[in-house]
Amino acid sequence: MNVFHSSWFYWAVGIAVGLPVALILLTELHDALVRRNSRLARQVRLLRNYLLPLGALLLLLVQASQVPARDISVRLLTTVFGLLVLLLLLSGLNATVFQGAPEKSWRRRLPAIFLDVARFALIGVGLALMSSYIWGVRISGLFTALGVTSVVIGLLLQNSVGQIVSGLFMLFEQPFRIDDWLDTGTARGRVVEVNWRAVHIDTGSGMRIMPNSMLATTSFTNLSRPPGAHKLAMTTTFSSADPPDRICAMLSRVARALPQLKAGSVPRSEPLGAAEYRTTIGLNSPADAGAAKATFLRWAWYAARRENLHLDDADDDF
């Protein structure tokens, strides 16, 4: 009768029954997520294989076996449990909020540097809470020491820190996003990654690494803003004996047939003098510029011969 009136008995029975049931349910859930190719399968496996057994062990020690919570073995197990919970939160947040984001959503376009800041903040808060509640560390003194250390390091590395801070201010302003096209004067391409140190620009012929501090102190052009406002200007040369009106009509007709032409856009062709002509073509994105240029030049060659015009002042017998 004394056993049934003891609190440890009910904890022991609850763990003995609840742990196998929970393991079975999590196994079924994990298998279902794997069949669906879900990103949460990894988090469920972590919960089933590590967090649940460790949590059951802690309850068995503290509640059933009446081991004091201040015991060093309980503290170590609690610390490991807290680290696993922190890992589960980080991976679950990344899988649900960012990896599962739609392709064109703001979560997909968010620079990686902001994700790193959020992860470091979550890790810092978690470690501070574990140090305070598990080991009894006075975190106020720890924060004071960290503040003094930060001031000393900032004075020693003020030039390097200044470059990092200027880069951070530029990224918080967000003058560009992932997949935007930039023209920095020395590089022109699509932004594929933004991290703590630099911006990675795919120029088509390689990856250009631009330090954040350099972009923060120089001017550059975001070709993707406003969206759909990008225009391609093509310059062609004809014989001075060709009628300008016929040349402009032919070039505009070729430009209107381009598959990369923005819907509702009307191409314009005009003479520049010295037998040169400029055709302005509206595009949806700078990414279409290469294909539009190649197609326009190829089609203009055939169209010029059908119109008896001399492209590039060619005097062949066509």
Q: What is the pLDDT of residues 247-282, one digit of tens each?
A: 999 999 999 999 999 888 899 999 998 889 999 999
Pairwise CA distance, residues 222 & 214, whole Å: 15
Please indicate, yes or no, whether residues 116 and 206 belong to a single structural domain of this protein: yes
Please indicate, yes or no, whether residues 211 and 249 belong to a single structural domain of this protein: no
In the block, residue with structure tokens 């610390």: 79
- What tokens does 74 get? 């309980």
Taking 70 as the pLDDT cut, the residues of the chain under it are 1-7, 97-114, 140-143, 145-148, 150-168, 171-172, 226-229, 316-318
CB atoms within 10 A of CB 261: 20
Pairwise CA distance, residues 218 & 196, whole Å: 18
Please indicate, yes or no, whether residues 95 and 143 belong to a single structural domain of this protein: no
- The structure's pTM equals 0.50
Pairwise CA distance, residues 318 & 316, whole Å: 6
Please indicate, yes or no, whether residues 85 and 56 belong to a single structural domain of this protein: yes
pLDDT the model gives residue 281: 92
Contacts of 143 (CB under 8 A, 6+ apart): none
Please indicate, yes or no, whether residues 266 and 239 belong to a single structural domain of this protein: yes
Q: Classify residue 317: in a domain, yes or no.
A: no
Q: Classify residue 21: in a domain, yes or no.
A: yes
Please indicate, yes or no, whether residues 116 and 220 belong to a single structural domain of this protein: yes
Pairwise CA distance, residues 176 & 171, whole Å: 8
Q: Classify residue 273: in a domain, yes or no.
A: yes
Q: Classify residue 312: in a domain, yes or no.
A: no
pLDDT the model gives residue 237: 93
Of 91, 93, 85, 94, nearest to 133 (Cα)?
Answer: 85
List the CATH number of the domain containing 251: 3.30.70
In the block, residue with structure tokens 């739609």: 102
pLDDT the model gives residue 227: 62
Q: Classify residue 45: in a domain, yes or no.
A: yes
Please indicate, yes or no, whether residues 240 and 302 belong to a single structural domain of this protein: yes
Contact at 8 Å (CB) between 150 and 141?
no
Pairing, β 221-222 against β 231-237: unpaired
- What tokens does 18 get? 């609840």
Please indicate, yes or no, whether residues 74 and 116 belong to a single structural domain of this protein: no
Please indicate, yes or no, whether residues 168 and 204 belong to a single structural domain of this protein: yes
Please indicate, yes or no, whether residues 250 and 271 belong to a single structural domain of this protein: yes
Pairwise CA distance, residues 232 & 212, whole Å: 28
Domain that holds residue 262: 231-306
Of 65, 105, 58, 112, nearest to 84 (Cα)?
Answer: 58
Please indicate, yes or no, whether residues 196 and 95 belong to a single structural domain of this protein: no
The domain boundary residue, chosen from 155, 190, 225 = 225
In the block, residue with structure tokens 């030049």: 297
The domain boundary residue, chosen from 200, 225, 250 = 225
In the chain, DSSP finds a helix count (H) and a strand count (E) of 11, 8
Domain total in the chain = 3
Please indicate, yes or no, whether residues 114 and 85 belong to a single structural domain of this protein: no
pLDDT the model gives residue 256: 94
pLDDT the model gives residue 98: 65
> Which of the 8 DSSP states describes residue 242?
S
Q: Classify residue 197: in a domain, yes or no.
A: yes
CA end-to-end distance (rounded Å), the chain: 111
The neighbouring-strand residues paired with 282 are: 231
Query: What φ, ψ does residue 263 adopt, rounded to 5°?
Result: -60, 130
The domain boundary residue, chosen from 225, 240, 273 = 225
Q: Which 3 state secondary structure label does DSSP give 211?
A: strand
Q: Classify residue 127: in a domain, yes or no.
A: no
Q: Classify residue 316: in a domain, yes or no.
A: no
